[in-house]
Chain A
């Protein structure tokens, strides 16, 4: 059980792909102009990561070291294409929203990184969980970054939600600051870099505080025993 707990903790916090491993930054920076965009791409990535980790883990023993990267890429690309085609055929409205992101996922190095670092060495269940949790960790960062950029750039929350839930959802969009003139920098790519930098700093700060607290707690009993 402890193993699964570690996997969840690593994916969501300790080794968060977005703020700690800094992998998969291309889509992180490109599509996070709104929270809805970030969430959508994040969930699609999490799905692909869980599936590709689960697909690679059972065949890991049959793949010679020299060709593992081409084989992994082949598996990931085939899987993404299958998901892409199936979504297009069977859940078309969702595909219209996420469609452009799906092929992008193949090029996202976080997918290959988790296959290589985890699924190539572990059984199916933990591998699938690792993919899912790393994906959800990335989703958290993408959504947060999207929300911040959207708020600073446009003064809104949930804009674009109608793309996911249909036209009636347009009423859910909140104009948090009335008559906001807009702050272009936040919406353009530099805003993504700055926003990500701030997120990383926050993560590091929280982590250091947590560690400092933990070491203080650890130190106390020792001091008392003397």
Chain B
């Protein structure tokens, strides 16, 4: 140690390294403090933002339960474009399953995945579709965002039969959906992904709308206002 400090070059190196360590330590401390202080408000605002987003896809008139509480994990499903487990939010109205919100991926956009939130009612109609994230060309393919245009709203109220299967395409391809000139790959991907989500919901009806019989049987008949049963948040197996 003494030899080390007697050598001027080594001494300089040690002092320099020590200063760097001090700066790193101070920086870490500051960041830790900030993180601790901001963690709770950030979690709260993220929760609020997520709820606001869910309500965009599913109007509050169609559900009366806490969507963030009633969610299940779905196994990876090609129809949803999900290679991993994804979350489904189960909505109910007066204790009856009313709708479901699915996380859907459109893998065939112009560049990268387009992540969607798709709300589907118990009768198989779309209550709303919103784009969560995408990497489409700014100013060109980004009209799928609700903030930029109303394009995405034309899914509202649609179902697998309306328009008929062949018309689930942009007008250019003989379909029923509008698009904007210059970008047709993006809307095609969104339309296909939305239709696949509807097919998934139809195929997995029992899982996504846990039926009355199962729910009602557990509730006393005398209950005036049945309250929705919180569903387990654990992953459900392949139905």
Q: Which residues of A contact B (CB under 8 A)?
A: 33, 62-64, 66-67, 70-71, 74-75, 77-78, 81-82, 85-86, 88-90, 92, 96, 153-154, 162-163, 182, 184, 187-188
Contact A85 B42 (CB under 8 A): yes
Contact B49 A163 (CB under 8 A): no
B16→A88 contact, CB < 8 A: no
Tell me whether B215 is interfacial, beta carbon within 8 Å: no
Known A92-B45, A163-B147, A187-B138; judge A81-B20 contact (CB<8 A): no
Q: What residues on A are CB-neighbors of B19 within 8 Å?
A: 62-64, 67, 71
Contact check, A81 vs B140: say whether CB atoms are below 8 A apart.
Answer: no
Closest 6 CB pairs of A and B: A89-B38, A89-B41, A187-B139, A78-B27, A92-B45, A85-B38
CB distance from B132 to the nearest CB of A (A): 13
Q: Are B27 and A88 in contact (CB under 8 A)?
A: no
| Cβ contacts under 8 Å, A154 to chain B | 139
**Whole-angstrom CA separation of A70 from B16 in the bound complex:** 12
A70 to B20, CA, bound (A): 8
Instruction: Tell me which residues across on chain B come within 8 A of A77, comparing CB atoms.
Output: 27
Residues of A within 8 A of B37 (CB): 89
Contact across chains for B45 and A88 when beta carbons are under 8 A apart: yes
Instruction: Name the CB-closest residue of B to A163.
Output: B147
Residues of A within 8 A of B41 (CB): 88-90
B147 touches A162 (CB 8 A): yes
Q: How close is A14's CB to chain B, nearest CB, in angstroms?
A: 33
Q: Is the CB of B27 within 8 A of A74?
A: yes
Q: Determine which of B23, B45, B139, B147 lies in contact with A71 in the assembled complex, contact meaning CB atoms within 8 Å.
A: B23
Assembly CA distance A63 to B24 (angstroms): 13
CA–CA, A82 to B41, complex, Å? 14
B31 at the interface (CB under 8 A from A): yes
Can you name 6 A-B residue pairings with CB atoms under 8 Å? A74-B23, A75-B27, A78-B30, A86-B34, A154-B139, A184-B139
Write the chain A residue with the least CB distance to B137.
A188
B139 x A88 contact (CB < 8 A):
no
Q: Give the one of A89, A96, A153 with max B CB within 10 A.
A: A89
With A92-B49, A163-B147, A187-B139 as known contacts, state yes or no: A67 contacts B20, CB within 8 Å. yes
- Give chain B nearest CB distance to A75 CB in angstroms: 7
| Interface residues of B, Cβ cutoff 8 Å to A | 12, 15-16, 19-20, 23-24, 27, 30-31, 34-35, 37-38, 41-42, 45, 49, 137-140, 147, 182
With A88-B45, A184-B140, A187-B138 as given contacts, are A82 and B23 in contact (CB-CB < 8 Å)? no
Report yes or no: B139 in contact with A96, Cβ–Cβ below 8 A: no
Which residue of chain B has its CB nearest to the CB of A170?
B147
Task: Flag if A85 contacts B182 (CB, 8 Å).
Answer: no
Contact of A74 among B24, B45, B137, B147 (CB under 8 A): B24
Residues of chain B within 8 A of A71, CB atoms compared: 19-20, 23
User: Which of chain B's residues has its CB closest to A90's CB?
Assistant: B41
What residues of chain A lie closer than 8 Å to B45, measured between beta carbons? 88-89, 92
A127 to B41 Cα, complex, angstroms: 33
Q: Report yes or no: A81 in contact with B24, Cβ–Cβ below 8 A.
A: no
**Given A33-B139, A88-B41, A89-B41, 11 extra CB contacts under 8 A:** A64-B12, A74-B23, A78-B30, A81-B34, A85-B34, A85-B42, A182-B182, A184-B139, A184-B182, A187-B138, A188-B137
- B16 touches which of A66, A89, A153, A187 (Cβ 8 Å): A66
Contacts of A75 in B (CB 8 A): 23, 27
Q: Which of B23, B27, B35, B138 contacts A85 (CB 8 A)?
A: B35
**A79 shortest CB reach to chain B, Å:** 9
Known: A184-B182, A187-B140. A88 touches B49 (CB 8 A): no
Q: In the complex, what distance in Å separates the CA atom of A186 from the CA atom of B165?
A: 38
Q: In whole angstroms, how far apart are the Cα atoms of A20 and B42 in the complex?
A: 39
CB distance from A62 to the nearest CB of B (A): 7
Enumerate chain B residues within 8 angstroms of A33, measured Cβ to Cβ: 138-139
Q: Are A78 and B16 in contact (CB under 8 A)?
A: no
Which of B42, B140, B147 has its CB near the most chain A CB atoms (within 10 A)?
A: B42
Q: Which residues of B contact A88 (CB under 8 A)?
A: 38, 41-42, 45
* Chain A residues within 8 Å of B49, by CB: 92, 96
Across the interface, which residues of A come within 8 angstroms of B38, CB to CB? 85-86, 88-90
